[in-house]
Chains A and B, each alone.
Chain A
Amino acid sequence: MKASRTPAIADRMNDRFINIKVDREERPDLDQIYQHAPRIDGEQGGWPLTMFLTPDGEPFWGGTYFPPEPCGGDRASPDPRTRSAAPIASDRERSPKNVAALARGAAAASADPKRGELDRARPARPDRRAAVARGRPASMAASALRRNFRRPGSSSCCGAPGSARGQTRYRDAVAQALDTSCQGGIYDHLGGGFARYSVDARWLVPHFEKMLYDNAELVESADPGLAGHARPALLSSGSRRSRLDHASRCSRRRAGSPQPRRRQRARRRQILCLVRSGDRRAARRERAAVVQALLRCRGARQLGRTHDPQSADAPALADTPRPSGSLARCRALAVLSSGAREFIRVWTIKVARFDWNGLMIASRSRMHGIVFERPAWIEMAQSAFDFDPHAHDCTRRASVTQLAGRSCPASRRCRRLCQSLSRRSCTHEATGDEDLAGSGAHCDGNPRPSLLGRSRRRLLFCCGRHRGIAHEAPRQPPIPPFPPGSGDSGRSSLPAGGADRRTGLSASRREWSSRRFRARLENHLSARHLPQQCRAVARTRCRSFSSANADLPHSKRFAPRRIRRFLPARIITCLSPGGSLPADHPAFGKGLVDGKARRLCLPRPGLFTPVTDAETLLESLARLR
């Protein structure tokens, strides 16, 4: 498409060919005829299909997508300078041979019962993954990601070694590819999910083509490529009612027996859950724990493969040491319980798209801590959505840049910051949570709504009456240390007048501790952008804990980690893309179709649980309490 709009290529095509364009829906008979040709030629069939025909209509060469220039091993459009189609077309000796070869292949394919399948014997393309692993120039990685038709695997294979070596060019390429994908994919015509194929150069109008496995791989590649810390492991399993039921049914099936019809149906429904971990090895351990928890998981599909306890994969999983502690088991149970609620039917994309919206936003949100600090991204945002970086608070840019580096010792702080920013980004994408306005944010009436800027410290509300840029609630001023010269150094050896008999603290010290505790609590609540209701719950919980555990030392009663423990760390967001898009966005005005999965809940840091209805959301929140 893009190639034919290039004037030089168009001129050449007009000069040398009679160009015929056919609507496949109007002429499926022609499509059926010519789809076989590229497969026989060792290429992959599909659409848009470009075929070169003889004057008699016989195909002799073709393929699917042709970029204007050769890119990542793909052939280019028929530009004579790129040594592709035109020399072949003008070669009078080779064309008949090609036609004859295709005719022989077509005859063989018609006799083959597996007719129409992809020819596996096609010539191998350059092994991009191996090249990147060997440290080839980042231009190769960049070229792999620059195409309209992106392969998610190239994102992960380019991002991991690049970030491991500290080569930011790899990460930049991955980040730009993913970011542009997200820009178009979330707000596509069909309501959500990544589309790996775009119809325009800016990725504003995505192709409708969305594959479950593509989305899964993109979710996986989004995090390590940009956050640089956590690497999620994907677990995919089929289920009709619940994963446990499905796994038990599969485990009861005897080996070698034909698949029951119920299982065939069940396998079409897939669940994708993310088991997030701090590093790759831990992710593998957790994945193995989840798989083991799936009742020996015969038939459960992990990363697209079918794992059988008797298969060659089983020893590797069995030998994997079980993680110590209950963390992995809790995560496994959480995955199972969340999976039981979630269905994603692969073959009906429109049913799954809203679930994917939640996953996409959640995965993308982690990169927002570093997205807008880079000039290239800002430039891209400017061109895409008229984003004005000067209208946004960039005071934390340096800290984000510093913290986002892998060498930063304060990785926990970085993750926390990214999570904090991610909540704003979710709100930025969602713009439907009016509770946020009641949590201390206010609108400054900025008349320039910007889609991308809302992930920064300022939030943009485009929903209803809240329109403008909203600032988050001001942080509480830090409580100064307890004055040592106030006549009370804190703990007195003997209970004096006004001192607590159990703790031995003076009244002034107790008042200071209480003030510091309240300030910390409010800061935490402010940083998390919790709605009023959750703030009240958190305050009540903290007070209850403090009064019920008055015999504990102050350091334990009012420790920051205890405050965080009571906070319902979660995102609630409303996916209403139609109301948040600029008027010139191609998806503007295209609202939700059936209103599914309007909310997204992150009950625990590191475990994504998309929630599809209000009851499930309330249930998740109740479980946190």
Chain B
Amino acid sequence: MDRNRLGEETSPYLLQHKDNPVHWQPWSGATLAAAQGGRQADPAFDRLCRLPLVPRDGA
């Protein structure tokens, strides 16, 4: 988890953030296992983005 691994992904949205200073990880079993394995004691920080054309705010 020492580097940004989004460059290995195929999603255009994730690829936009491959140069981000945050060490973003893809959602995978390995990432979750790393979180559970105690390498990082703190919770995971999950960000879901990229919405399709749907109204927000209940419009």
- Which of A's residues lie within 8 Å of B, judged by CB? 1, 4-5, 7, 10-11, 13-14, 16-27, 30-31, 34-35, 44, 46-57, 60, 78, 89-90, 95, 117-118, 208-209, 211-213, 346-347, 349
CB distance from B4 to the nearest CB of A (A): 9
Contact across chains for B49 and A47 when beta carbons are under 8 A apart: yes
A30-B46, A54-B44, A57-B44 are known contacts; what are 11 more A-B pairs with Cβ within 8 Å? A10-B21, A14-B23, A16-B42, A18-B25, A18-B35, A19-B24, A20-B46, A25-B13, A25-B50, A35-B48, A52-B45
Contact across chains for A55 and B25 when beta carbons are under 8 A apart: no
Contact across chains for A52 and B43 when beta carbons are under 8 A apart: yes
Closest to A211 in B: B59
Tell me, in angstroms, the Cα distance from A16 to B1 when the chains sit together.
11
Closest 5 CB pairs of A and B: A10-B21, A17-B45, A48-B49, A47-B51, A23-B11
Chain B residues positioned under 8 Å from A211 (CB to CB)? 55-57, 59
CB distance from B10 to the nearest CB of A (A): 9
Chain B residues positioned under 8 Å from A19 (CB to CB)? 22-25, 44-45, 47
Contact across chains for A346 and B25 when beta carbons are under 8 A apart: no
Tell me, in angstroms, the Cα distance from A34 to B44 when the chains sit together.
13
CB distance from B16 to the nearest CB of A (A): 9
Contact across chains for B47 and A349 when beta carbons are under 8 A apart: no
Chain B residues positioned under 8 Å from A208 (CB to CB)? 53
Contact across chains for A17 and B50 when beta carbons are under 8 A apart: no
Tell me, in angstroms, the Cα distance from A5 to B35 when the chains sit together.
23
Contact across chains for A5 and B20 when beta carbons are under 8 A apart: yes
User: From residue 1 to 44 of chain B, which have CB atoms closer than 8 A to chain A?
Assistant: 1, 6, 11, 13-14, 17, 20-27, 31-32, 34-36, 38-40, 42-44
Of A16, A21, A347, which is within 8 A of B26 by CB? Answer: A21
CB distance from B57 to the nearest CB of A (A): 7
Of A53, A89, A347, which is within 8 A of B46 by CB? Answer: A53
* A-B contact number at CB 8 A: 153
Contact across chains for B43 and A22 when beta carbons are under 8 A apart: no
CB distance from A60 to the nearest CB of B (A): 7
Chain A residues positioned under 8 Å from B31 (CB to CB)? 18, 20
Contact across chains for B48 and A30 when beta carbons are under 8 A apart: yes
Closest to A58 in B: B43
Contact across chains for B17 and A21 when beta carbons are under 8 A apart: yes
Tell me, in angstroms, the Cα distance from A44 to B56 when the chains sit together.
10
Chain A residues positioned under 8 Å from B26 (CB to CB)? 20-22
Tell me, in angstroms, the Cα distance from A393 to B17 when the chains sit together.
43
Contact across chains for B20 and A51 when beta carbons are under 8 A apart: no
Chain B residues positioned under 8 Å from A46 (CB to CB)? 51, 56-57
Tell me, in angstroms, the Cα distance from A346 to B53 when the chains sit together.
13
Contact across chains for A27 and B27 when beta carbons are under 8 A apart: yes
Chain B residues positioned under 8 Å from A35 (CB to CB)? 48
Tell me, in angstroms, the Cα distance from A419 to B28 when the chains sit together.
58
Tell me, in angstroms, the Cα distance from A118 to B56 when the chains sit together.
11
Q: Would you give 6 A-B contacts (Cβ < 8 Å), ordered by A?
A: A13-B23, A19-B24, A47-B48, A55-B36, A55-B43, A347-B55
Chain B residues positioned under 8 Å from A212 (CB to CB)? 59
Chain B residues positioned under 8 Å from A7 (CB to CB)? 21
Contact across chains for A5 and B21 when beta carbons are under 8 A apart: yes
CB distance from B28 to the nearest CB of A (A): 9
Contact across chains for B49 and A55 when beta carbons are under 8 A apart: no
CB distance from B39 to the nearest CB of A (A): 8
Task: Knowing A18-B25, A18-B31 are in contact, say whether A209-B56 is a contact too (CB < 8 A).
Answer: yes
Tell me, in angstroms, the Cα distance from A5 to B56 when the chains sit together.
25
Contact across chains for B59 and A21 when beta carbons are under 8 A apart: no
Chain B residues positioned under 8 Å from A52 (CB to CB)? 43-46
Closest to A348 in B: B53
Contact across chains for B48 and A49 when beta carbons are under 8 A apart: yes
Chain B residues positioned under 8 Å from A1 (CB to CB)? 49
Task: Knowing A14-B23, A21-B17 are in contact, say whether A90-B42 is a contact too (CB < 8 A).
Answer: yes
Contact across chains for A21 and B47 when beta carbons are under 8 A apart: yes
Closest to A25 in B: B50
Task: Knowing A16-B42, A53-B43 are in contact, say whether A22-B48 is a contact too (CB < 8 A).
Answer: yes
Chain A residues positioned under 8 Å from B42 (CB to CB)? 16-18, 89-90
Tell me, in angstroms, the Cα distance from A436 to B29 when the chains sit together.
63
A11, A21, A46: which has the most chain B beta carbons within 10 Å?
A21
CB distance from A32 to the nearest CB of B (A): 10
Of B14, B27, B47, which is within 8 A of A50 by CB? Answer: B47
